[in-house]
Structures are given as structure tokens and as C-alpha cells.
Amino acid sequence: MKLVAPIVLVFATAAVASGVSSAHRLEFETALIMVAVVVALYVFVGNSGVISFGHMSFVAVGAYLAGLVTLDPETKGFTTPGLFQVLKHAQIGLVPSLALAAAIGAVYALVVGLPLMRLSGLPAGIATLAVLGITYNVLSYWGKVGPGVQTVTGVPEASVWALAVGVAIVVAAAYAYQRSRFGRVLRATREDPPAARASGISIYRERLIAFTLSGALAGLAGGLYVHMLGLLQPDLFYLDLTLVTLAMLVVGGVGSLWGAVIGALAISALNSFLGDAENTVDVGFHLTLPNGTRLVTVGAVMALVLILRPSGLTGGREFGWRRS
């Protein structure tokens, strides 16, 4: 049940997305991708209790790799002539590109995590933020790994059902992890670090495992993102996305997978409803909001939910009829 409910929600969102007009489909697809990104973030932040501002780095490398290896080599000759030869000539299918995205996310997270997982608390947060800063900076300027500050379009787009399957895989992996020995051990270190240590648990090792898995899922989510949008741009994967996904996680409830899914969908829904309302929406009467109210309201709602329900909408519980 705890796994079924989030998966059903994912496919329900996909079903709605496939039924609506193309302008609205983009909003539902974005919501799906946000579920994947937030769940990937949850695997580390939720289970370890350590905040990470750096996860969008893994989303970014996943998106860049998946995007570049599926672009037509001829186009790449014009748009990104400076790429590494391998990237420049490669053209592979959707599924292998997503596998590559997950792989590079995992490798990057492992490399970063090896030194950084020794830190905890605020220094850990700042160090991961520094990783994000470096990733953003390098992706913005290094011509061998991407188009730089320009936007590259023409990345093959996946169908909404393909995206939904990808998102469902992320959710299922997160669920499998938290049910596994590793997940339980990591949550034990979150609840009581000294007791966990006394029981012979290496906090460093458990966090590193979660960080790497989380990086793999974030990379996969990035790959899905780029195959949804069809374009690449470094600004997509920087502070805005970091803030929004962290807020989604906290609004939903940082302690549960269900919370991650609910938070991502709730904020996405609010965001797109208000976006529509800025161009007049029919809610019994014609509602037109001035431009800019979307961001203000989303910000205010995030702040309000945090104030009124600090443990999130789900209170950190998994889906279930009985409240324990």
C-alpha cells in the first residue's frame, strides 16, 4: 500500500497529462519530473536528516549527458562544436541515455560524497552548496561538456507514459531502499547518532551509500527532465530548482516517501493553477491575476505551510488509512 499509493498518483498524473491540451500537458509533465527530483532528494535528505543543497548538480549532469548523447550529431557540429569527441559523435536511444544519466549521477555523487560525507550539519550544507556552485559554473562556461550559457534545443522528447514509467522507477527504488537494511540503518543514524554508532554502524558509510543512490536517481530524474523539455540550459539546474525542490520536500513532509510525492505534486499544482490564473481562468467566475502573483503566492504558501505544519502536509507519515 505504501508503494502503491505514490505509484498510482504518478500514473494518474500521467493519465491526466495525456488527456489534456498540449499547453497543459507540459505542466503535468513538469509535475511528474518534480516528483522524480524530490524523491531522489528525499532518499538522502529524508533518510539521513542531513540537508543537501547540492543535489541539483546530479540532476544537471544527468540532464546534460542524456541530452547530449541523444542529440543529432550533425546538429551538435553546429551548436556545440567544442564538445568532447565521444559526446559529439554519440547518438543513442532514449533508454540507454537514461541509464547513462543515472550512472553519471551515481559516479558524481560518489566522488563528491567520498570526502564530503564526513561532514554533517551546516558545514555539510555549505559544502554541497559549493559543489552546486562549481557544477553550475563549469556547465556555464566549459565548451567541452556542453553548450555553455546558450540554450540547445532539439533533444528528442519522450512520451508522457515513458516519463511516468521513469518516475515510477525512481519512486520504487526509493521505496526499496528505505525498506532495505541500508535504509533502516541510515534512519537509525538520523534518529540517534550516538546510539547508532554504539551499535557498530558507520554513519559515514551509510550516508555515502544513500548519497550515491540518491545521486543516481537524481541523474535519472535529470535525464527524464531533459527528455521532457527537449532543451538544455544551465540556469534550469541552479538555485531556483534547489529551493523549489527542497521546499516541496519540506512542505510534503521530509520524513516520508509519500510526503515527497505529495509535496512535489501539491506545489506543482498550485504553481500551474496560478500560472493559468495570470492568463484568466474560469473557476465559476473569470479569475485574472496580475502577472507576478504566481511567484508571490507560491512563496507565501510555502512559508505558511511551514509555519502551520512544520512537519509537512503528511507529517512525515507514509500513506495509510490508520494513523499510527
Partner 1 sequence: MTINWGQAIADAIALGALYGLVAVGIGLVFGVLRLINFAYGELITCGGYVLAYTYGWPRPVSILLCIAAVVALALAQEFVAFRPLRRGGASAATMLVATFAVSFLLQAIYLLAFGSRGQIVGTLGKLNSAFTVDGVDIRWILLVIVATGLLLLGATATLLDRTEVGLHIRAAAADFRTSRILGVRANRVIVLSFVMSGVLAGAVSVLYTVQNPLVQPSMGVPITIFALVGVVVGGLERLWSAALGGFAVGFVYGLLADVLSSTSSVYLPSVVYGLVILVLLLRPAGLFRSWRAQQVERV
Q: Which residues bind partner 1 (CB under 8 A)?
A: 45, 49, 51, 115-116, 118-123, 125-127, 129-131, 133-134, 137-138, 140-141, 239, 243, 246-247, 250, 254, 290-293, 295-296, 298-300, 302-303, 306-311
| Of residues 287 and 306, the one with the C-beta less far from partner 1 | 306
Beta carbon of residue 46, minimum distance to partner 1 (angstroms, whole number): 10
Helical spans, DSSP H, in the chain: 4-19, 22-48, 55-70, 73-79, 85-89, 94-116, 121-141, 160-179, 181-191, 193-198, 203-229, 239-252, 257-277, 293-308
291: left (phi over 0), alpha (psi -120 to 50) or beta: beta
| Of residues 5 and 289, the one with the C-beta less far from partner 1 | 289
| Of residues 171 and 302, the one with the C-beta less far from partner 1 | 302
| Of residues 51 and 98, the one with the C-beta less far from partner 1 | 51
Strand partners of residue 152: 232
Helix (H) or strand (E) holding 153: strand 152-153
Beta carbon of residue 279, minimum distance to partner 1 (angstroms, whole number): 16
Beta carbon of residue 305, minimum distance to partner 1 (angstroms, whole number): 9
Please write down the long-range contacts of 185-194, taking CB distance under 8 Å and 24 or more positions apart: 186/47, 186/48, 186/210, 187/47, 189/48, 189/49, 190/47, 190/48, 190/49
Beta carbon of residue 161, minimum distance to partner 1 (angstroms, whole number): 33
Beta carbon of residue 7, minimum distance to partner 1 (angstroms, whole number): 26
| Of residues 223 and 263, the one with the C-beta less far from partner 1 | 263
